[in-house]
Amino acid sequence: MKDPEGPIIDMTPSGQFAQEPITAPALGTIVLRVLLFTIALGFAALAFWVALFTVPILMILGLVGYGWFRFNAARGRFRFNKMTVSHIARWR
């Protein structure tokens, strides 16, 4: 039977549906999906927040380390020609 304003209903001669009617998901399934989406969104927000605050700190630490290296190199405390394998192995 085809109704121009509704869906097509397929029935067997005994009056049973040819296939199970499509139903909406259960309330528990909807709640579980929303909960999992919320947890995933929370982890993404936490990762973004950590990156937002650690990248500038790491950049500042890199600049401080570069300044320390340049300061010590300018004062003659650090030279590349003295950094040999035997010199590094002696400090272990």
pLDDT at 77: 74
Would you state the pLDDT for residue 87?
54
Report domain extents, the chain: 27-90
Contact 17, 11 (CB under 8 A): yes
Backbone angles phi, psi at 11, to 5 degrees: -125, 150
Q: DSSP for 12-69?
A: -TTS-BSSPPP-PPPHHHHHHHHHHHHHHHHHHHHHHHHHHHHHHHHHHHHHHHHHHH
Where the chain has pLDDT below 50, the residues are none
Distance CA 91, CA 83 (A): 11
pLDDT in tens, 3-14: 567 767 777 778
